[in-house]
Amino acid sequence: MLRIHFTDHDLARVRIAAAPDPLWETVLAMQKLALDGIPAFARWRRRVREELRERDARTAVRFLQAIAPPARYFPDFLTPAESAGGLKAGLAALRGTPSDRLGREVGLMAQHHRLPKWIHGLAEGVALDQVAEALKIAHDTLVAPQWTTVRTQVDTDRALRSRLAGESGTFGLLDSLRPAFRWEAPILTARYPIDRDLHLRGRGIRLVPSYFCWDTPVALADDDLPPVVVFPVSHEHEPAPLPKHLATLLGRTRAAVLYAVAGCPSSGELADRLGISAAAVSRHTTVLRDAGLITSRRHRAVVLHNLTPVGSALLG
C-alpha cells in the first residue's frame, strides 16, 4: 500500500497538472506496450507495433525498456518536473541530471533487476544524450499520434477535479480520486506494489492525471524530490479514432478540429491539443461554424466551442 500523509499546510498546496505530462506519458506508454491483456490499449498497441517495424523506433523503445521495464521501480530522472512545461523542457532537464543523482538511481535499478553493462555508464552521464534522443523517438512513435485522445481524456478528468475542488474544497478533490485512492483524512491511500509511506512535510503534492497510467498510481521513488503522484484517468466514453471519411471530406486538420470540439474546448485548448496556431484554429472553426457543424461562444477573453446536432451526426 502507498500511504500519503498530509499536514494542514499540504492540504493548501495540492495542485493538479494543467496538461498531460509528455515524459510520464511516454514512459508509461512504453511499459504498456510490453503488457498484453489491457483492453483499453489493445487498438493502440496494434497500431504501434506496426510502426515499430521501423528500425530507429524499435531500437529506441528496446533501449528504454532496459532502463524502465514494467516493474516496481524505474529511475525518477526519466520524468523531471520540468516536463510539465513540455517535451523540450523535460528533455533539457533530463540532460542536466546531476551525476550523484544518476549514481543513486542506477544503484536502485540494480537492486530490482539485472542491468546491461552499458547502463552503468549512466551513472557518469555518458549516455544521457542517448536516453533523451530515445525518449524523443519513443514519444513521437507511441504518444504523439494518440495525443488528441490523451489530451481530451486528461482535460476531462482535470475539469472534473477542478470543479469538485471549487465546490467541496481539497477534501472533496481528494475524495474524488476513488477508486484509485481512498481518502481518510489526513492520509490518502492507494494499492501499490510495495508498502510505502510518503510524508509530504508541508511541501504539498502535484497530482498528474495520465492516459497511459493504468490500475494503480505511480509516485516518484525519491522522497526528497518534490512530491508527485500520477494517477489513471477513466477510459470510459473515449472517442473513437478519427474516421477516414472525415479526413477525406474536410481535410485532416479540419476534421481533427471537429473531432476535438466534441470535448467542448476553448480555442487555446484546441491549439494545444492539435499543435496548430491560434490563427489556424480561428480559420478552421470559422469554416465549421459557417457550415453549421459547431457553435462558438465568447466568455470574457475565452472562446468556447461545441458541436451542433449536425456535427455530432457527422462524427457518428
**Digit-coded pLDDT (tens) for 46-63:** 889 888 877 778 889 988
Match 492540504 to its residue by C-alpha cell.
11
**Digit-coded pLDDT (tens) for 134-170:** 999 999 999 998 887 888 788 878 877 887 888 889 9
Query: What pLDDT was estimated at residue 121?
Result: 73
Query: What pLDDT was estimated at residue 110?
Result: 84
Sign for the CA dihedral angle at 39, 43, 45, 49 comes to positive
Class of the CATH-defined domain 244-315: mainly alpha
Phi, psi of 131 (to 5 degrees): -65, -45
Low-confidence ranges of the chain (pLDDT < 70): 126, 237-243, 299
8 A C-beta contact, residue 62 and residue 52: no
Long-range contacts of 54-58 (CB under 8 A, 24+ apart): 54/141, 56/137, 57/137, 57/138, 57/140, 57/141
- Rounded Cα–Cα distance for residues 147 and 109 (Å): 30
Query: What pLDDT was estimated at residue 240?
Result: 62
pTM of the complete model beyond 0.75:
yes
- Rounded Cα–Cα distance for residues 55 and 124 (Å): 28
What are the boundaries of each domain within the chain? 2-17+148-232, 22-144, 244-315
Query: What pLDDT was estimated at residue 239?
Result: 61
8 A C-beta contact, residue 165 and residue 137: no
